[in-house]
Structure 1
Amino acid sequence: MSTQVLNSGSVVERLKRTRAVMSQNGIHALLVPSADPHLSEYLPAYWQGRQWLSGFYGSVGTLIVTPTFAGVWADSRYWEQAGKELSGSTIELVKLLPGQPGPLEWLAEQTPEGATVSVDGAVLALASARTLESRLKERGATLRTDIDLLGLVWQDRPTLPVQPVYEHLPPQATVSRVDKLQQLRETLKQRKADAHFIATLDDIAWLFNLRGSDVSFNPVFVSFALIEEARATLFVDLHKVSAELRGTLAREGIELCDYTGINAALASLPATTRLLVDPVRVTCGLIGHLKPEVKLVEGLNPTTLSKSQKSLDDAVHIRQAMEQDGAALCEFFAWLETAFGRERITELTIDEQLTAARARRPGFVSLSFNTIAAFNANGAMPHYHATEQEHAVIEGDGLLLIDSGGQYLGGTTDITRMVPVGTPTDEQKRDCTRVLKGVIALSRARFPKGILSPLLDSIARAPIWAENVDYGHGTGHGVGYFLNVHEGPQVIAYQAAPAPHTAMQPGMITSIEPGTYRPGRWGVRIENLVLNREAGDSEFGVFLKFETLTLCPIDTRCLEPSLLTREEVEWLDGYHAQVLERLSPLLAGAALEWLQVRTAPVAIKR
C-alpha cells in the first residue's frame, strides 16, 4: 500500500471542493469509510478514497466531513501516524477509546434534525447501513446511499487493477473447487437457501482455488460470486482470465461473467429466491439491486468458517512454508549481525535485505504485508512503515522491532522479533521479557473446543497487566492459507465481541502477538503463529492446544532471564531446540552458525 503523505495544502483544497459538492447536493455530512465493495481490509488504490481526501494513509480509519468539521476516527495503532499525517490539514484526529462514540454513533448524535448524511452505498456494509439509518431516523435525519460524492471530486482516481488470475494448484491446493462447491451447496440446503452471494475476495479465492495480485500482499483478485444449486458464476474482469483457465473452469461447471455484471445478476434473481448473505460482508448498495421480495437468509459466509479450518494436508504444507520462512530469517539475521558496525543500515535496508532473503526460498510468491522495521521510538507505532522521506538509521543502542511475513504457495507467514542494537537498557529488557511471558502463557494454554476466541485474550495479557501495563491492539488474528494475513472468524482480543462465530475449532491458524509501546521511546512485540490441535477429551469435553508453527529464534539478549519461571525457561529452550532441529538442514555457513548460537539454552543467574 502507498504510504505517500499528501501536503496539507492539497488536502485543504480537496476538502473545499468536497464541501462545495456536498452543498450542491443538499448533504450535511459525508461518511468515508476505509472500504471497497468487497469490504476488504486492504484496498486497491481505486477505493482508497479516505486516504486521498484526508492524507492519512493508515490502513484503517473513518473520515467524516461536515460544513464546519472534518475528523478521522482511528484506533491506538495509528494515533502517532495520524497525528503526523493530519497535521495542518484542518482534519482532527478522533481517538477511538472504550466508551467514546465511534463514527456512526457520532453521526447519530451530531446530525441535525432534517439533515442528510451521505455515504457511497457501494462500500457500506448492509449491517452498518441498517444501524446508521435507524439511528438517524430517530433524530429525524436521513441517510442517502445512492450517490458517490467522492467520485465527483476525485478527478485523478486510479483505475481498477488488471492483474491476471491464476490457479492455486495441487499439491498445495488440497481440496478441489468441485468438492468445495459441493460442500457449500450442502450447507445452502441446510440453511434452506436457494443461492449464496459472496463479495469477500479471500472467500472467493479460497472457494475457487484461484489467486491473483489485485491487492498488494494479498493473493486475491477483484470479483464477486453467485452460487446457485445448478450453477456457480464468477464475476471478474474477463481480460484477467486466460483462455486455458476459462476452459478449465467451464468444464467444472463454473460460468464467468464480467465484473460489472453483478448488479444485473442480482436484479434478475427471481422474487422467490432465498439468498444467503452475510450482512457484515456485503454492502447495502449491492443488496439494493435485489427485488424487494427476495428473502435474505442472513449469517456468516460458510466459506469463512471452512477456509479457517485448515486440513491435516494443509498443515503439512504450512509447516514446510514455515521452515522455508524461518531459514530465510536466519540468513537475514546472520547478515544483520555481521553488518552492524560495518555498513550503514537503515530501516529501509532491513526491508530490502529481508525481502531478498525470502525471495530466494522455494515457493515464495510475495510479502504478506509491508515489512515493519522500526527502531527505538518508531517501534512505539504498531503499524509504522519506513519511507524514503522518513526512516531511521540503525545505530547506537536500543531495540529494533521487525514484523514481517511472506506468501508461499503452501502458506502465509507473519512473525515479529526483537533485535538488540548495542546494549539494551534494563527497562527495555524487562519489557521484552514481560511480552515474552505473555506469548508463552497463551502458547502453553489448553482450552475447550468451541471456546469463544476473545475470551483467551486475558491469558496473554495477564503477565503484562500484572505490571500495570497494557497494549491497545488485539493479541491475535486469524491467518489464511496462501491468502490474507488477516482473516476470521476467530480473533483474540477482549475488545471484540465474543460472538458464536468466533469459536475456536481445530485447524485454525492464529497469531499470538502481545506488545508494549512507550511513545517516543520504543516498542516491543513478539509474534508467533499457532495452529489449533486437539489435546484430548474427557468427561468435560474435547480440549484444544496450540502448535507453534513459526520457526525462528527469540533473541535472548533482549531478555532478563531471571524474570522467567522454570516452566517458561523450559518452554523457550524446548522451542529453540525444535527451531534448531527443523531449520539446520536448510542452512549452511554463517546462517547455520548464527542459528546454533541463538538457540543455545537460556542461562539463568538467580
Structure 2
Amino acid sequence: MTVTERLSALRALMKEKGVDAYLVPTDDFHASEYVGDYFKCRKYITGFTGSAGTAVITMDMAGLWTDGRYFIQAAQQLEGTTVELFKMGEPEVPTIHEFLKEKLTEGMCLGFDGRTVSAAEAEELKELLSDKKIRFSVEEDLIGEIWTERPALSCEPVMELDIKWAGESRAEKCARVRRKMQEKQADVFVLTSLDDIAWLLNIRGNDIHCCPVVLSYLVLTEEEALLFANEKAFGQDVLANLKKDGVVLKPYNDIYTYVNTIPAGKTVILSKANVNSRLVNSLPAEVKILDEENLTLLPKAIKNHTEVENERIAHIKDGVAVTKFIYWLKQNVGKMEITELSAAEHLFQLRKEQENFLDNSFDPIVSYGGHAAMCHYSPSPETDIPLEPKGLALCDTGGHYLEGSTDITRTIALGELTEKEQKYFTLVLKGHLRLSDARFHYGCCGQNLDYLAREPLWRLGEDYNHGTGHGVGYLLNIHEGPNSFRWKSSSAVLEEGMITSNEPGYYVENEFGIRHENLIVCKKAEKTAYGQFMCFENLTMVPFDLDAINPELLDTYEKGLLNSYHAEVYEKISPYLTEEEKNWLKEYTRAI
C-alpha cells in the first residue's frame, strides 16, 4: 500500500473504533531513540524514515512533527503523501500539544498505543485536554491492525560483556543501585530503558539496528532481579551466569501482569519520562510511585577507569581505519567510480580489519555536495550519487568495538573548493577547537560551554540546527544522556569520565554541509583555592583536512591547538600505516 492508502485504511479503522485523532510517535515500548523494524509505525504511516518525529492523523489531515536535523529530508519524503510537515521550533509552528488542544473539540477521542507513549506524556495530555472532556483510547495498536506484513519482534542472540571490558561486575552494579533504592526508601525499581538494562547486567544484543541492546524489562528488589525477555535469545551459559547472580528470566510480555501484583503499600521508583503509560497504569492504585530519573542513568554515563582506558584503544583502532579511508578517498576520487554507498562500504571494511570490531555504531552518513546539507542524510540505493574530484564530502560514521563505541565526523575536500566552503569549514573548526580546549569550574554543564563552539558562526549571524554534542555509551547507544552540549536546554553537570561528542556544523541547502566531530572525555584539571577545575581529552585521533582550511581565519591560539592535535594524531596513528600512508599523514598533520 502507498502512504495515502495506509492513511485511508487507518481512518476507516479510527471511524469504526470511535477515534477522532491518532498519535503515532517514533518510540518502541522502551522510549528508545532508534527502534527495531517491528516498531516503525510512524515510518509505515507517513513514509518518513528519520529517527525522530511524531505523526498525528485525524479524519481530515495528517501531520508530521520533526526537528531541524530532518527538515530537508522530511520535506522530500512527504511530497505527494498528503502528510503535512510541521517544523518543530520554527516561528508560528504549533507544538503537537498546541495542535491537539486547538483541533480536538469537546467529547472527542484521542487514541494511541499506550506502550509507545511515556507515562509522563500521557499524563500531560490528559491534563492539557481535561477541560474539553477528551476521551482516551490507549489499549489498542491501530497501526498494527492494518500493517499486514509487519516484521516479527527481534530475538537476536544475547552475549555477556566480560569484566575486562565493563570494568565492574553486574553484581557490583546491582548492589550500587540497591543502595540507592535504600536511600530513597524504594522497594521496587522498574527499569525499561534498554541501554540501562544492558549496562546494569553486562549483557549486549542486537535487537535494534546498530544498538547492541536486548528487548527486555527489569524489575529490581532487595531480594531479586526479574528480567522480562525472550528466553530463546539466551544461550545456556548466559542463563546460568545470570541465575548465579540472582537474575531470573521471565517472558517478555509478562511485565504488565507482574507489576499488577506488586503489593499495596510498596514504593516503586521509576522514570515516567521513560516508562510507558500502559505499564504505569498497570500498577495497583495503592502502590506509591517515586517518579525520578533512572538510578542507572548517571552511573552509566560516568565511565570507569577500565572503560576510559578501553575507549582510548578503540579510538586508535578507529583512527587507523578512518585515516586510511581519507587517504584512499583523496587518492582515488575521480580516478575510479566511488559513490556515497561504496565509500561507506570501504570504510566499513577498513574497520572490520581492526581486532574486536563488531559493527557500525550507526548507519554511516557519507554525503556529498548538497546531500551533506541534510544533517542526518544516509545514502540509500535510491539516493546514492558518485563523488567527484571537487567540493566537500561529509562522513559521519562510527564503530562498536569490545573496547567501546566511536562516533566521528570528518568533512573532506575532494578537490577544488569555493572561498565560501573554505570559510565555513574554518569557522566551524574554530569553534570545535575552542570547545575541545575548554577549562571550566566543576559544576558546569554543557549549556555553559556550548557557546564556545557556536561563537564564530553567531558572530556572523549564522548557526546550525542541532546540538553541539551528546553523551556516548560504552558499546551501547551512540546517543546517551544525561550529558550534552546544548545552549537551549540544561543538561547534567559534566563529571570526570563522561564521554561527549564535540560536533559543530554548518549547512547550506542544496550546496554543502560541514561538520567536525571528535569524542572527548571529561577529566579533572587543577584544583585551586577556587575549587576543582575540569578539562577535556580528545579520544578521536584523525586529522582534519588541511586542504579545506583558510589559515588566515585561525588565530595563533587556534593554530596552536590544531598543530598540537595533529602532532598527537601522527604519533598515535602512523605506526599502523603503510609507508605511503605514513608519508601522506606526515604532510596532512604538518604545522600551519
TM-score with structure 1 length normalisation? 0.96
Secondary structure of 1:171's aligned partner: helix
Secondary structure of 1:402's aligned partner: strand
Q: Does 1:132 pair with 2:125? A: yes
Tell me which of 500, 513, 516 is aligned to 2:506: 516
Mean CA deviation greater in 359-368 or 336-345: 336-345
Q: Does 1:216 pair with 2:206? A: no
Tell me which of 166, 183, 188 is aligned to 1:195: 188
Q: Which whole-Å deviations, capped at 9, do the CAs of 1:81-117 have from their partners, x for residues lacking one?
A: 1111111101111111256422123212221111111
State the 1:293 CA deviation: 0.9
Q: Runs in 1 of length 4+ with deviation above 3 angstroms?
A: none
| Counterpart residue number, 1:600 | 590
Rounded to whole Å, the distance in 1 between the matches of 2:170 and 2:541 is 31
C-alpha contact 2:333 2:389 (8 A) present in aligned 1: no
Rounded to whole Å, the distance in 1 between the matches of 2:151 and 2:243 is 32
Rounded to whole Å, the distance in 2 between the matches of 1:174 and 1:105 is 47
Rounded to whole Å, the distance in 2 between the matches of 1:106 and 1:545 is 43
C-alpha contact 1:136 1:143 (8 A) present in aligned 2: no
State the 1:262 CA deviation: 0.8
| Counterpart residue number, 1:3 | none
Rounded to whole Å, the distance in 1 between the matches of 2:291 and 2:518 is 34
Q: Does 1:489 pair with 2:482? A: yes
| Counterpart residue number, 1:52 | 44
Secondary structure of 1:302's aligned partner: coil
| Counterpart residue number, 2:442 | 449
Mean CA deviation greater in 545-554 or 388-397: 388-397
Q: Does 1:275 pair with 2:268? A: yes
State the 1:188 CA deviation: 0.4
C-alpha contact 1:330 1:594 (8 A) present in aligned 2: no
State the 1:204 CA deviation: 0.4
Q: Does 1:155 pair with 2:148? A: yes
State the 1:235 CA deviation: 1.0
C-alpha contact 2:167 2:305 (8 A) present in aligned 1: no
Tell me which of 434, 437, 447 is aligned to 2:427: 434
Q: Does 1:410 pair with 2:403? A: yes
Tell me which of 538, 543, 555 is aligned to 2:533: 543
| Counterpart residue number, 1:401 | 394
Instruction: In structure 2, give the amino acid aligned to 1:429.
Output: Q
Tell me which of 77, 83, 90 is aligned to 2:75: 83
Secondary structure of 2:371's aligned partner: helix
Q: Which whole-Å deviations, capped at 9, do the CAs of 1:320-371 have from their partners, x for residues lacking one?
A: 0000000011221222122122201110111110000001101100000011
Within-5 A mapping of 1:66-145: 66-98=58-90, 100-145=93-138
Instruction: In structure 2, give the amino acid aligned to 1:308.
Output: A
Secondary structure of 2:156's aligned partner: coil
State the 1:540 CA deviation: 2.6
Tell me which of 373, 377, 383 is aligned to 1:384: 377
| Counterpart residue number, 2:546 | 556
Rounded to whole Å, the distance in 2 between the matches of 1:597 and 1:216 is 38
| Counterpart residue number, 2:139 | 146
| Counterpart residue number, 2:14 | 22
- The change in CA–CA distance for 1:332 and 1:396 in structure 2 (over 3 A counts) is closer
Rounded to whole Å, the distance in 1 between the matches of 2:530 and 2:469 is 26
Q: Which whole-Å deviations, capped at 9, do the CAs of 1:94-142 have from their partners, x for residues lacking one?
A: 1112564221232122211111111111010111111111101123322
Rounded to whole Å, the distance in 1 between the matches of 2:222 and 2:475 is 28
C-alpha contact 1:399 1:420 (8 A) present in aligned 2: yes
State the 1:195 CA deviation: 1.1
Rounded to whole Å, the distance in 2 between the matches of 1:24 and 1:280 is 31
Instruction: In structure 2, give the amino acid aligned to 1:298.
Output: D
Q: Which whole-Å deviations, capped at 9, do the CAs of 1:187-239 have from their partners, x for residues lacking one?
A: 00111101101100000000000000111111111011100001111111000
Rounded to whole Å, the distance in 1 between the matches of 2:206 and 2:580 is 35
Rounded to whole Å, the distance in 1 between the matches of 2:530 and 2:101 is 46
Rounded to whole Å, the distance in 2 between the matches of 1:154 and 1:340 is 43
Rounded to whole Å, the distance in 2 between the matches of 1:144 and 1:438 is 48
Secondary structure of 2:337's aligned partner: coil
Gaps of 5+ in 1: 1-8
Q: Does 1:36 pair with 2:28? A: yes
Secondary structure of 1:537's aligned partner: strand
Rounded to whole Å, the distance in 2 between the matches of 1:591 and 1:542 is 42
C-alpha contact 1:37 1:283 (8 A) present in aligned 2: yes
| Counterpart residue number, 1:571 | 561
C-alpha contact 2:97 2:125 (8 A) present in aligned 1: yes
Tell me which of 238, 246, 263 is aligned to 1:245: 238
C-alpha contact 2:166 2:306 (8 A) present in aligned 1: no
State the 1:585 CA deviation: 2.1
Mean CA deviation greater in 193-202 or 168-177: 168-177
C-alpha contact 1:334 1:590 (8 A) present in aligned 2: no
Gaps of 5+ in 2: none
| Counterpart residue number, 1:6 | none
| Counterpart residue number, 1:293 | 286
Tell me which of 59, 64, 78 is aligned to 2:56: 64
C-alpha contact 1:117 1:144 (8 A) present in aligned 2: yes
Mean CA deviation greater in 393-402 or 157-166: 393-402
Secondary structure of 1:85's aligned partner: helix
Q: Which whole-Å deviations, capped at 9, do the CAs of 1:400-451 have from their partners, x for residues lacking one?
A: 1100000011111000001112101111000000000110111111222222
State the 1:170 CA deviation: 3.0
Secondary structure of 2:582's aligned partner: helix
Q: Which whole-Å deviations, capped at 9, do the CAs of 1:355-408 have from their partners, x for residues lacking one?
A: 000011011000000111111100100010111111221114211110000001
Rounded to whole Å, the distance in 1 between the matches of 2:233 and 2:520 is 35
Mean CA deviation greater in 509-518 or 110-119: 110-119
Rounded to whole Å, the distance in 1 between the matches of 2:152 and 2:457 is 46
C-alpha contact 1:39 1:281 (8 A) present in aligned 2: yes
Rounded to whole Å, the distance in 2 between the matches of 1:591 and 1:282 is 50
Tell me which of 496, 516, 521 is aligned to 1:526: 516
- The change in CA–CA distance for 1:579 and 1:442 in structure 2 (over 3 A counts) is same
Instruction: In structure 2, give the amino acid aligned to 1:492.
Output: F
Secondary structure of 1:43's aligned partner: coil
C-alpha contact 1:203 1:307 (8 A) present in aligned 2: yes
C-alpha contact 2:391 2:413 (8 A) present in aligned 1: yes
State the 1:454 CA deviation: 2.2
Secondary structure of 2:536's aligned partner: strand
| Counterpart residue number, 1:343 | 336
State the 1:453 CA deviation: 2.1
Instruction: In structure 2, give the amino acid aligned to 1:274.
Output: T
Q: Which whole-Å deviations, capped at 9, do the CAs of 1:523-555 have from their partners, x for residues lacking one?
A: 111001100101122233222111111000001
Tell me which of 587, 590, 594 is aligned to 2:580: 590
The root-mean-square deviation of aligned C-alpha atoms, in Å, is 1.2
Secondary structure of 1:31's aligned partner: strand
| Counterpart residue number, 1:302 | 295
Q: Which whole-Å deviations, capped at 9, do the CAs of 1:262-311 have from their partners, x for residues lacking one?
A: 11211111112111101111011111111011111111111111010001
Secondary structure of 1:122's aligned partner: coil
Rounded to whole Å, the distance in 1 between the matches of 2:570 and 2:530 is 37
Rounded to whole Å, the distance in 2 between the matches of 1:376 and 1:113 is 50
State the 1:179 CA deviation: 0.3
Percentage identity across paired residues of the two chains: 37
State the 1:484 CA deviation: 0.7
TM-score with structure 2 length normalisation? 0.98
Secondary structure of 1:316's aligned partner: helix
